[in-house]
Amino acid sequence: MKTQVAIIGSGPSGLLLSQLLNRVGIDTVILERSSRDHVLARIRAGILEWGTVELLREAGAGARLDAEGITHDGTFMTDSDLMVHIDFKDLTGKQVMVYGQTEVTQDLFEAQDRMGTTIIHNVEDVAIHDLDTTSPRVDYTVAGERRSLSCDWVAGCDGFHGVSRKTIPAEKRREFERVYPFGWLGILARTAPIDHELIYANSEHGFALASMRNANLVRHYIQVPLTDKPDEWSDERFWAEFRRRLPASAAAKVIEAPSIEKSIAPLRSFVSEPLRWGRLFLVGDAAHIVPPTGAKGLNLAASDVFYLYHALVEAVKKGSEKGVDDYSARALNRIWKAMRFSWQMTTMLHRFDGEDAFAAQMRRATLNHLCESETARRDLAENYTGLPY
Protein backbone atom coordinates (compact mmCIF):
# COMPACT_ATOMS: atom_id res chain seq x y z
CA MET A 1 0.00 0.00 0.00
CA LYS A 2 1.09 3.57 -0.69
CA THR A 3 0.00 6.98 0.59
CA GLN A 4 1.32 10.53 0.78
CA VAL A 5 1.20 10.93 4.57
CA ALA A 6 1.23 7.89 6.87
CA ILE A 7 -0.37 8.80 10.19
CA ILE A 8 0.28 6.71 13.28
CA GLY A 9 -2.51 6.98 15.86
CA SER A 10 -6.18 7.92 15.60
CA GLY A 11 -6.47 10.18 18.64
CA PRO A 12 -7.49 13.79 18.08
CA SER A 13 -4.06 14.70 16.60
CA GLY A 14 -4.02 11.98 13.93
CA LEU A 15 -7.67 12.35 12.95
CA LEU A 16 -7.60 16.16 12.73
CA LEU A 17 -4.39 16.22 10.69
CA SER A 18 -5.72 13.54 8.37
CA GLN A 19 -9.03 15.30 7.90
CA LEU A 20 -7.43 18.68 7.09
CA LEU A 21 -5.00 17.09 4.62
CA ASN A 22 -7.72 15.05 2.90
CA ARG A 23 -9.83 18.15 2.39
CA VAL A 24 -7.12 19.70 0.25
CA GLY A 25 -6.58 16.49 -1.70
CA ILE A 26 -3.60 15.04 0.18
CA ASP A 27 -3.93 11.30 0.71
CA THR A 28 -3.43 9.72 4.15
CA VAL A 29 -3.65 6.30 5.80
CA ILE A 30 -4.06 6.01 9.58
CA LEU A 31 -2.63 3.08 11.54
CA GLU A 32 -4.19 2.66 15.00
CA ARG A 33 -3.24 0.17 17.70
CA SER A 34 -6.71 -0.04 19.30
CA SER A 35 -10.28 -0.52 18.12
CA ARG A 36 -12.45 2.52 17.46
CA ASP A 37 -14.63 1.65 20.47
CA HIS A 38 -11.57 1.65 22.69
CA VAL A 39 -10.40 5.04 21.38
CA LEU A 40 -13.89 6.45 21.94
CA ALA A 41 -14.20 5.06 25.47
CA ARG A 42 -11.43 7.31 26.80
CA ILE A 43 -12.67 10.23 28.86
CA ARG A 44 -10.38 13.21 28.68
CA ALA A 45 -10.55 16.96 29.19
CA GLY A 46 -13.29 19.17 27.83
CA ILE A 47 -12.19 22.76 27.22
CA LEU A 48 -11.51 23.98 23.68
CA GLU A 49 -9.62 27.19 22.93
CA TRP A 50 -11.23 29.24 20.16
CA GLY A 51 -8.35 28.39 17.80
CA THR A 52 -9.19 24.70 18.29
CA VAL A 53 -12.88 25.38 17.60
CA GLU A 54 -11.99 27.20 14.39
CA LEU A 55 -9.63 24.46 13.24
CA LEU A 56 -12.32 21.82 13.81
CA ARG A 57 -14.75 23.92 11.78
CA GLU A 58 -12.17 24.30 9.00
CA ALA A 59 -11.79 20.52 9.04
CA GLY A 60 -15.54 20.15 8.43
CA ALA A 61 -16.03 18.64 11.92
CA GLY A 62 -17.63 21.59 13.68
CA ALA A 63 -21.38 21.12 13.17
CA ARG A 64 -22.21 19.20 16.37
CA LEU A 65 -19.71 21.27 18.31
CA ASP A 66 -21.52 24.43 17.23
CA ALA A 67 -24.89 22.93 18.13
CA GLU A 68 -24.00 21.29 21.46
CA GLY A 69 -20.83 23.00 22.77
CA ILE A 70 -21.28 25.45 25.64
CA THR A 71 -19.49 28.77 25.33
CA HIS A 72 -17.83 30.02 28.52
CA ASP A 73 -16.91 33.67 29.01
CA GLY A 74 -14.85 33.08 32.15
CA THR A 75 -13.92 30.85 35.07
CA PHE A 76 -13.56 30.99 38.86
CA MET A 77 -10.38 30.54 40.91
CA THR A 78 -10.87 30.09 44.64
CA ASP A 79 -8.92 29.78 47.89
CA SER A 80 -11.00 28.82 50.91
CA ASP A 81 -13.84 31.36 50.73
CA LEU A 82 -12.09 33.77 48.38
CA MET A 83 -13.60 33.51 44.88
CA VAL A 84 -11.97 35.32 41.96
CA HIS A 85 -13.81 35.57 38.66
CA ILE A 86 -11.61 35.67 35.57
CA ASP A 87 -13.74 37.26 32.87
CA PHE A 88 -12.08 36.05 29.65
CA LYS A 89 -14.41 37.93 27.38
CA ASP A 90 -14.06 41.22 29.14
CA LEU A 91 -10.28 40.90 29.59
CA THR A 92 -9.29 39.47 26.21
CA GLY A 93 -12.39 39.52 24.02
CA LYS A 94 -12.07 35.71 23.81
CA GLN A 95 -14.10 32.74 25.01
CA VAL A 96 -13.60 28.99 25.35
CA MET A 97 -15.94 26.12 24.49
CA VAL A 98 -16.94 23.24 26.77
CA TYR A 99 -17.08 20.14 24.55
CA GLY A 100 -15.59 16.78 25.54
CA GLN A 101 -12.55 15.38 23.78
CA THR A 102 -14.47 12.13 23.35
CA GLU A 103 -17.06 14.04 21.30
CA VAL A 104 -14.33 15.75 19.26
CA THR A 105 -12.85 12.34 18.44
CA GLN A 106 -16.26 10.93 17.51
CA ASP A 107 -16.97 13.87 15.18
CA LEU A 108 -13.56 13.48 13.53
CA PHE A 109 -14.06 9.72 12.99
CA GLU A 110 -17.41 10.48 11.32
CA ALA A 111 -15.84 13.19 9.14
CA GLN A 112 -13.11 10.74 8.13
CA ASP A 113 -15.73 8.09 7.30
CA ARG A 114 -17.47 10.59 5.00
CA MET A 115 -14.10 11.33 3.43
CA GLY A 116 -13.51 7.59 2.89
CA THR A 117 -10.09 7.62 4.58
CA THR A 118 -8.44 4.27 5.27
CA ILE A 119 -8.09 3.81 9.03
CA ILE A 120 -6.56 0.47 9.92
CA HIS A 121 -7.37 -0.52 13.51
CA ASN A 122 -5.79 -3.14 15.78
CA VAL A 123 -2.33 -2.85 14.20
CA GLU A 124 0.64 -4.23 16.12
CA ASP A 125 4.41 -3.83 16.00
CA VAL A 126 4.50 -0.61 13.99
CA ALA A 127 8.07 0.07 12.80
CA ILE A 128 9.11 3.19 10.85
CA HIS A 129 11.96 2.87 8.34
CA ASP A 130 14.02 4.92 5.86
CA LEU A 131 13.25 8.30 7.37
CA ASP A 132 16.41 9.74 5.87
CA THR A 133 15.14 9.01 2.34
CA THR A 134 12.30 10.59 0.35
CA SER A 135 10.29 7.36 0.53
CA PRO A 136 9.91 6.16 4.12
CA ARG A 137 8.07 2.96 4.96
CA VAL A 138 5.90 1.94 7.87
CA ASP A 139 5.66 -1.78 8.62
CA TYR A 140 2.89 -3.20 10.81
CA THR A 141 1.05 -6.39 11.63
CA VAL A 142 -2.70 -6.76 11.35
CA ALA A 143 -4.66 -10.00 11.83
CA GLY A 144 -1.35 -11.85 12.09
CA GLU A 145 -0.10 -10.60 8.70
CA ARG A 146 2.94 -8.34 8.29
CA ARG A 147 2.27 -5.45 5.89
CA SER A 148 4.05 -2.40 4.56
CA LEU A 149 2.90 1.18 3.89
CA SER A 150 5.09 3.33 1.63
CA CYS A 151 4.73 7.09 1.98
CA ASP A 152 6.34 10.50 1.52
CA TRP A 153 5.99 11.69 5.13
CA VAL A 154 5.16 10.13 8.50
CA ALA A 155 3.13 11.89 11.22
CA GLY A 156 3.70 10.38 14.66
CA CYS A 157 0.37 11.05 16.40
CA ASP A 158 0.59 7.99 18.65
CA GLY A 159 0.50 9.55 22.10
CA PHE A 160 2.94 9.38 24.98
CA HIS A 161 3.40 5.57 24.81
CA GLY A 162 3.67 5.39 21.03
CA VAL A 163 6.49 4.17 18.84
CA SER A 164 7.21 7.39 16.88
CA ARG A 165 9.15 9.33 19.49
CA LYS A 166 11.28 6.27 20.28
CA THR A 167 12.14 5.94 16.57
CA ILE A 168 14.27 9.09 16.92
CA PRO A 169 17.68 7.90 18.23
CA ALA A 170 17.94 8.52 21.99
CA GLU A 171 21.14 10.54 21.57
CA LYS A 172 19.34 12.93 19.18
CA ARG A 173 16.46 13.57 21.55
CA ARG A 174 16.36 15.91 24.50
CA GLU A 175 13.67 15.19 27.06
CA PHE A 176 12.42 17.52 29.79
CA GLU A 177 10.20 16.18 32.53
CA ARG A 178 8.50 17.07 35.77
CA VAL A 179 6.40 14.47 37.54
CA TYR A 180 4.05 15.88 40.19
CA PRO A 181 3.64 14.00 43.48
CA PHE A 182 -0.17 13.65 43.22
CA GLY A 183 -2.91 12.59 40.82
CA TRP A 184 -6.42 13.71 39.90
CA LEU A 185 -9.35 11.53 40.84
CA GLY A 186 -12.09 12.33 38.32
CA ILE A 187 -15.75 11.39 38.33
CA LEU A 188 -18.45 11.76 35.73
CA ALA A 189 -22.01 12.07 37.09
CA ARG A 190 -25.46 12.92 35.76
CA THR A 191 -26.33 16.01 37.72
CA ALA A 192 -26.43 19.79 37.27
CA PRO A 193 -23.19 21.82 37.36
CA ILE A 194 -22.62 23.96 40.46
CA ASP A 195 -22.22 27.13 38.41
CA HIS A 196 -22.47 28.06 34.75
CA GLU A 197 -18.63 28.27 34.67
CA LEU A 198 -15.76 26.07 35.94
CA ILE A 199 -14.40 26.44 39.48
CA TYR A 200 -10.67 25.79 40.11
CA ALA A 201 -10.39 25.49 43.89
CA ASN A 202 -7.32 25.67 46.07
CA SER A 203 -7.86 24.74 49.71
CA GLU A 204 -5.96 23.57 52.76
CA HIS A 205 -7.22 20.05 51.91
CA GLY A 206 -5.89 20.17 48.33
CA PHE A 207 -7.17 21.05 44.87
CA ALA A 208 -10.64 20.47 43.41
CA LEU A 209 -12.09 21.29 40.00
CA ALA A 210 -15.79 21.56 39.23
CA SER A 211 -16.23 21.05 35.50
CA MET A 212 -19.03 19.88 33.23
CA ARG A 213 -19.97 18.38 29.89
CA ASN A 214 -23.52 19.69 29.62
CA ALA A 215 -26.47 20.96 31.71
CA ASN A 216 -26.96 17.50 33.24
CA LEU A 217 -23.47 15.97 33.18
CA VAL A 218 -20.63 17.04 35.44
CA ARG A 219 -16.94 16.18 35.45
CA HIS A 220 -15.38 16.85 38.85
CA TYR A 221 -11.85 16.25 40.09
CA ILE A 222 -9.96 16.24 43.38
CA GLN A 223 -6.23 16.03 43.97
CA VAL A 224 -5.33 12.68 45.62
CA PRO A 225 -2.10 10.88 46.59
CA LEU A 226 -0.68 8.83 43.71
CA THR A 227 -0.91 5.71 45.84
CA ASP A 228 -4.74 5.95 46.08
CA LYS A 229 -6.91 3.61 44.01
CA PRO A 230 -10.32 4.59 42.58
CA ASP A 231 -12.09 1.82 44.51
CA GLU A 232 -10.86 3.36 47.78
CA TRP A 233 -13.05 6.34 46.91
CA SER A 234 -16.74 5.52 47.35
CA ASP A 235 -19.07 8.11 45.81
CA GLU A 236 -19.96 9.24 49.31
CA ARG A 237 -16.33 9.82 50.23
CA PHE A 238 -15.68 11.65 46.95
CA TRP A 239 -18.59 14.08 47.31
CA ALA A 240 -17.74 14.86 50.94
CA GLU A 241 -14.11 15.63 50.08
CA PHE A 242 -15.08 17.59 46.97
CA ARG A 243 -17.45 19.82 48.97
CA ARG A 244 -14.85 20.33 51.71
CA ARG A 245 -12.45 21.88 49.16
CA LEU A 246 -14.91 24.36 47.67
CA PRO A 247 -15.89 27.75 49.09
CA ALA A 248 -18.97 27.31 51.33
CA SER A 249 -21.20 29.19 48.87
CA ALA A 250 -20.23 26.80 46.04
CA ALA A 251 -20.33 23.68 48.24
CA ALA A 252 -23.93 24.54 49.15
CA LYS A 253 -24.89 24.25 45.48
CA VAL A 254 -23.44 20.75 44.92
CA ILE A 255 -26.12 18.25 43.90
CA GLU A 256 -24.72 14.75 44.41
CA ALA A 257 -25.39 11.87 42.01
CA PRO A 258 -23.91 8.38 41.53
CA SER A 259 -20.67 8.36 39.53
CA ILE A 260 -20.81 6.75 36.08
CA GLU A 261 -17.03 6.79 35.72
CA LYS A 262 -14.21 7.16 38.20
CA SER A 263 -10.49 7.13 37.48
CA ILE A 264 -7.17 8.50 38.72
CA ALA A 265 -4.70 10.19 36.37
CA PRO A 266 -1.11 11.13 37.26
CA LEU A 267 0.11 14.67 36.51
CA ARG A 268 3.18 15.22 34.40
CA SER A 269 4.93 17.89 32.33
CA PHE A 270 7.01 16.41 29.50
CA VAL A 271 8.60 17.67 26.28
CA SER A 272 10.78 15.81 23.79
CA GLU A 273 12.80 17.85 21.30
CA PRO A 274 13.08 18.01 18.32
CA LEU A 275 9.67 17.31 16.77
CA ARG A 276 11.17 16.34 13.42
CA TRP A 277 13.48 13.53 12.48
CA GLY A 278 14.03 13.28 8.72
CA ARG A 279 10.58 12.65 7.25
CA LEU A 280 8.96 11.94 10.64
CA PHE A 281 7.10 14.56 12.68
CA LEU A 282 5.89 14.24 16.27
CA VAL A 283 2.47 15.71 17.00
CA GLY A 284 0.44 16.08 20.24
CA ASP A 285 0.98 13.73 23.18
CA ALA A 286 3.70 11.85 21.26
CA ALA A 287 5.91 14.89 21.87
CA HIS A 288 4.55 16.53 25.00
CA ILE A 289 2.33 16.11 28.04
CA VAL A 290 0.93 18.85 30.24
CA PRO A 291 -0.77 18.51 33.62
CA PRO A 292 -4.52 19.06 33.05
CA THR A 293 -4.76 22.15 35.29
CA GLY A 294 -4.54 24.56 32.35
CA ALA A 295 -6.74 22.45 30.01
CA LYS A 296 -4.02 22.62 27.37
CA GLY A 297 -3.45 18.97 26.25
CA LEU A 298 -5.92 18.80 23.39
CA ASN A 299 -5.40 22.45 22.46
CA LEU A 300 -1.64 22.00 22.09
CA ALA A 301 -2.26 18.97 19.91
CA ALA A 302 -4.46 21.21 17.73
CA SER A 303 -1.80 23.91 17.35
CA ASP A 304 0.81 21.28 16.41
CA VAL A 305 -1.62 19.99 13.78
CA PHE A 306 -2.18 23.54 12.50
CA TYR A 307 1.56 24.10 11.96
CA LEU A 308 2.19 20.67 10.45
CA TYR A 309 -0.85 20.82 8.18
CA HIS A 310 0.31 24.10 6.65
CA ALA A 311 3.90 22.85 6.38
CA LEU A 312 2.85 19.65 4.59
CA VAL A 313 0.56 21.51 2.19
CA GLU A 314 3.51 23.75 1.28
CA ALA A 315 5.77 20.73 0.78
CA VAL A 316 3.32 18.59 -1.18
CA LYS A 317 1.60 21.26 -3.28
CA LYS A 318 4.36 23.82 -3.76
CA GLY A 319 7.47 21.70 -3.37
CA SER A 320 8.82 24.02 -0.64
CA GLU A 321 10.29 22.41 2.47
CA LYS A 322 10.63 25.67 4.38
CA GLY A 323 7.50 24.93 6.46
CA VAL A 324 8.56 21.40 7.36
CA ASP A 325 12.03 22.67 8.23
CA ASP A 326 10.47 25.24 10.58
CA TYR A 327 7.78 22.93 12.06
CA SER A 328 9.70 21.82 15.16
CA ALA A 329 10.81 25.31 16.21
CA ARG A 330 7.42 26.91 15.52
CA ALA A 331 5.46 24.28 17.42
CA LEU A 332 7.93 24.19 20.33
CA ASN A 333 7.73 27.95 20.77
CA ARG A 334 4.03 27.65 21.57
CA ILE A 335 4.40 24.34 23.44
CA TRP A 336 6.86 25.81 25.97
CA LYS A 337 4.56 28.73 26.73
CA ALA A 338 1.67 26.34 27.38
CA MET A 339 4.05 24.20 29.50
CA ARG A 340 4.85 27.24 31.60
CA PHE A 341 1.19 28.14 32.04
CA SER A 342 0.15 24.58 32.96
CA TRP A 343 3.00 24.29 35.46
CA GLN A 344 2.11 27.68 36.97
CA MET A 345 -1.59 26.80 37.31
CA THR A 346 -0.63 23.44 38.87
CA THR A 347 1.72 25.07 41.37
CA MET A 348 -0.75 27.82 42.17
CA LEU A 349 -3.60 25.43 42.96
CA HIS A 350 -2.21 22.22 44.50
CA ARG A 351 -0.99 21.25 47.94
CA PHE A 352 2.39 19.54 47.81
CA ASP A 353 3.05 16.82 50.41
CA GLY A 354 5.48 17.90 53.06
CA GLU A 355 5.32 21.55 52.01
CA ASP A 356 5.89 24.24 54.61
CA ALA A 357 3.48 26.95 55.72
CA PHE A 358 5.23 29.41 53.38
CA ALA A 359 4.04 27.51 50.26
CA ALA A 360 0.38 27.82 51.26
CA GLN A 361 0.85 31.55 51.84
CA MET A 362 2.35 31.93 48.36
CA ARG A 363 -0.72 30.28 46.80
CA ARG A 364 -3.03 32.46 48.85
CA ALA A 365 -1.08 35.60 47.87
CA THR A 366 -1.27 34.62 44.18
CA LEU A 367 -5.05 34.33 44.48
CA ASN A 368 -5.24 37.64 46.37
CA HIS A 369 -3.19 39.29 43.66
CA LEU A 370 -5.51 37.89 40.98
CA CYS A 371 -8.44 39.25 42.95
CA GLU A 372 -7.00 42.75 43.10
CA SER A 373 -5.09 43.13 39.82
CA GLU A 374 -6.79 43.30 36.45
CA THR A 375 -3.35 42.93 34.84
CA ALA A 376 -2.84 39.58 36.61
CA ARG A 377 -6.31 38.40 35.59
CA ARG A 378 -5.72 39.46 31.99
CA ASP A 379 -2.46 37.50 31.88
CA LEU A 380 -4.25 34.37 33.12
CA ALA A 381 -7.14 34.91 30.70
CA GLU A 382 -4.78 35.41 27.75
CA ASN A 383 -3.04 32.11 28.45
CA TYR A 384 -6.17 30.15 29.35
CA THR A 385 -8.07 31.14 26.22
CA GLY A 386 -5.02 30.30 24.11
CA LEU A 387 -2.00 32.19 22.83
CA PRO A 388 -2.05 33.00 19.11
CA TYR A 389 -0.77 30.40 16.61
Which residues belong to the active site?
Answer: 72, 200, 292, 296, 384
Nearest residue (CB) to ligand APR, 7 versus 250: 7
Looking at the DSSP assignment, which residues form a beta bridge with residue 212? Answer: 218
CA distance 71 to 94: 10
For residue 275, the 8-state DSSP code is: S
- Torsions phi, psi for 366 (to 5 deg): -60, -45
Looking at the DSSP assignment, which residues form a beta bridge with residue 219? Answer: 188, 211
Number of C-beta neighbours around residue 146 at 10 A: 11
| Closest to 338 (Cα-Cα) out of 297, 287, 284 | 297
Dihedral angle computed from the Cα positions of residues 250, 251, 257 and 259, in that order, rounded to the nearest 10 degrees: 90
Output the smallest distance, CB 110 to ligand APR, in A.
16
Confirm if 101 and 284 have CB atoms less than 8 A apart: no
Nearest residue (CB) to ligand APR, 45 versus 339: 45
Find which of ligand APR, ligand PHB, none residue 8 binds, CB within 5 to 8 Å per kind: ligand APR
Nearest residue (CB) to ligand APR, 45 versus 367: 45
Nearest residue (CB) to ligand APR, 101 versus 346: 101
CA distance 11 to 113: 15
The residue number with the shortest CB distance to ligand PHB is 211
Nearest residue (CB) to ligand APR, 123 versus 222: 123
CA distance 224 to 207: 9
Q: Which residues of this protein are in contact with ligand PHB, per CB under 6 A?
A: 45-47, 198, 209, 211, 219, 292-293, 295
Going residue by residue from 126 to 165, which x/- string records binding to ligand APR, judged by CB under 6 A? Answer: x------------------------------xxx-xxx--
Find which of ligand APR, ligand PHB, none residue 293 binds, CB within 5 to 8 Å per kind: ligand PHB
Q: 33 to 62, contacts with ligand APR by CB under 6 A?
A: 33-34, 39, 44-45
Q: Which stretch binds ligand APR (CB under 6 A): 28-36, 78-86, 88-96, 319-327?
A: 28-36
Confirm if 295 and 212 have CB atoms less than 8 A apart: no
Amino acid found at 252: A
Find which of ligand APR, ligand PHB, none residue 291 binds, CB within 5 to 8 Å per kind: none
Sign of torsion, CA 247 204 45 72?
A: positive
Q: 162 to 181, contacts with ligand APR by CB under 6 A?
A: 162-163
Cis peptide bond upstream of 225, omega within 30? no
Find which of ligand APR, ligand PHB, none residue 46 binds, CB within 5 to 8 Å per kind: ligand PHB
Residues making contact with ligand APR (CB under 6 A): 8-14, 31-34, 39, 44-45, 101, 123, 126, 157-159, 161-163, 284-286, 297-298, 301
